Amino acid sequence: MPSAETNGTNGDSAYQFYNVIDGKPRISKDHHQVIDPRTEEPLWDAPIATSKDLDDAVEAANRAFKTWKKSTTAERQKAVHDVANIILQNVEVLAEVQRRETGKSRAMSRFDVERAAWHFEYYRTVSLEDELQYEDDTVRIIATHTPIGVLGAISPWNFPMILSTVKVVSALATGNCVIIKPSPFTPYSLLKFCELAQSVLPPGVFQALNGGADLGEKMTLHPGIHHISFTGTIAVGQRILRNCAGTLKKVILELAGNNACIICDDVDLDKVVPQVTTGALFHAGQVCVASKRIYVHESLYDKFLDRLIEESKKFAIDDEDSISFGPLSNKPNYERAVGFIEDCKKNGYKIVAGGDVKPREKGFWIPPTIVAKPPENSLLVQEEQFAPIVPVMSWTDEDDVITRANLDNAGLGASVYTPDADRAQRIARQLESGTVWINQFERPHHAGFFGGWKLSGFGGEMGKQGLLHYCHTQSLQIAKT
Ligand code: NAD
């Protein structure tokens, strides 16, 4: 058991956590504790949901759906606005909980929680309307968008609030009910958020259950859950898709991306290097759309690399208050990152910054690490590292760099830097990924549809289009008599 002294919260009820079922917090017989990635000490008790908890939540959600699906757009927009306010009224506690479970700085964690509120606020005014598809003297055809039912939302640990709340708000805004399962590495902020949101939502509309792969697996197989929105690794996404086939659930898969960042020969390094460094190192590279492979035009490669090494030093300091860098969020991801560095060392690749795998006595730290021109077929280039280990390659031919960028596992995001607007769009439109950022580092925007291609998944969320993936489209074909 973690002591109040160890986790620094002295038994405060804000730091007690429950599964949330049918509008009420529910205690659990079994618990686990997340390891604080900075101190390696256990945090608070996190309840583990049972199969009975899942069945009860599914029953409550189906009961609530009967009424919630009939609510008007205006009623749901009021509800999402009320939830946004709940988040904003509780920023301090949600940000502190998330900071401790993820290892983020105070500034990063607070920003994430505030952004979660923006997602809700965005859908206060954005909704799907009926669309006239066709009309003649005999028939009028309307496309209307109806909720699917009970959503099972399964989320990862890197942005526990933002990545989960986008699923919750998309479901609520379209008239679905949602049961969310946070990652067992970061259960606290989501459980607390769900508990707080009960004060403004009908029971059963939004519920949260904590558990690991086994609970996620039961959700994907449960006949009372009608659709799944999953964010995580490619391998788990593939398994989820297979599991959902049995009940033919509709599935959204937001999976990993081995994103390329292309730097053209006409860029201003003063402007571009800070952007690219942030794109690669923000949250220690644990961002699905982070720049995971940097391709720099050969004519400015050496200058770029020197500047990148200098800029990366700003991320190497530990400032728990402000910096957008921190330790890796959990031991498995730290060990995976060490594996990438060891592979680079074993193969004699040129590590030009960082590379120390145990820079401090406590915490899952990996310093910003830059690897110059590893071969294209190296592990670091071919696989997503999800850590601050950045391979920097060079290019001379535009078609060639586009081909190298378009790996099968690179379907989520990409970035292009050039002041030439035509060139930027020409390259961007040939990149096979769901989002391309031009002259800015990669950050999803709540108003822009976000989804992966190829091995990075399908379906999507955010923006008005994202709501379509949380609905059935029904065709009303009305005869004119
Ligand atoms: P993960 O796939 O290991 O786990 C994600 C979630 O799935 C967790 O809640 C986990 O408990 C659950 N899960 C595990 N096995 C399951 C199973 N068999 N059935 C159902 N659920 C199961 O991923 P992670 O390590 O938590 O997250 C990191 C990965 O997520 C990275 O690859 C990253 O690129 C990706 N990611 C993608 C996006 C995106 O929007 N596309 C965003 C963030 C992270």
What CATH number is associated with residue 397?
A: 3.40.309.10
Which residue, by CA, sits nearest to atom 20 of ligand 1? 216
Tokens of 365: 């730290």
Check whether residue 441 and residue 461 sit in a common domain: no
**64 and 84 share a domain?**
yes
Q: Are residues 216 and 311 in the same domain?
A: no
One domain for residues 245 and 131? yes
- pLDDT tens for the chain, residues 1 to 481: 344 444 555 568 889 999 999 999 999 999 999 999 999 999 999 999 999 999 999 999 999 999 999 999 999 999 999 999 999 999 999 999 999 999 999 999 999 999 999 999 999 999 999 999 999 999 999 999 999 999 999 999 999 999 999 999 999 999 999 999 999 999 999 999 999 999 999 999 999 999 999 999 999 999 999 999 999 999 999 999 999 999 999 999 999 999 999 999 999 999 999 999 999 999 999 999 999 999 999 999 999 999 999 999 998 876 777 678 999 999 999 999 999 999 999 999 999 999 998 878 899 999 999 999 999 999 999 999 999 999 999 999 999 999 999 999 999 999 999 999 999 999 999 999 999 999 999 999 999 999 999 999 999 999 999 999 999 999 999 999 8
Ligand 1 center–CA 236 separation, angstroms: 7
User: How many domains is the chain partitioned into structurally?
Assistant: 2
Point out the catalytic residue in the list 177, 288, 344, 471.
Answer: 288
Ligand 1 pocket by C-beta < 6 Å: which residues?
Answer: 154-158, 163, 181, 183-184, 212-213, 216-217, 220, 231-233, 236, 239-240, 254-257, 288, 384, 386, 412, 452
**Same structural domain, 426 and 289:** yes
Q: Are residues 301 and 403 in the same domain?
A: yes
Asked if residue 378 and residue 313 are part of one domain, the reply reads: yes
Quick one: 180 and 307 in the same domain? no
Let me know if residue 480 belongs to a domain: no
Annotated catalytic residue 344: no
Sign of the C-alpha dihedral computed for residues 247, 248, 249 and 253 taken in this order: positive
- 247 with 132, same domain: the answer is yes
Cβ atoms of 408 and 455 within 8 Å: the answer is: yes
Q: Are residues 38 and 147 in the same domain?
A: yes
Is 450 contained in some domain? no
Domain contains 237:
yes
Residues 6+ apart with CB under 8 A from 53: 19, 21, 26, 28, 209
Which H or E run contains 173?
Answer: helix 160-173
The single-letter code of the amino acid at 395 is W
439 φψ region: left (φ > 0), alpha (ψ -120 to 50), beta (else)? left
Question: What CATH number corresponds to the domain at position 469?
Answer: 3.40.605.10
How confident is the model over 155-202, as pLDDT tens digits? 999 999 999 999 999 999 999 999 999 999 999 999 999 999 999 999
Range of the domain at 58: 4-255+456-475
Kindly state whether residue 481 falls inside one of the protein's structural domains. no
- The DSSP letter of residue 217 is H
Regarding whether 384 and 369 lie in a shared domain, the answer is yes
pTM of structure: 0.96
Is 101 noted as a catalytic residue in this protein?
no
Same domain? 368 vs 417: yes
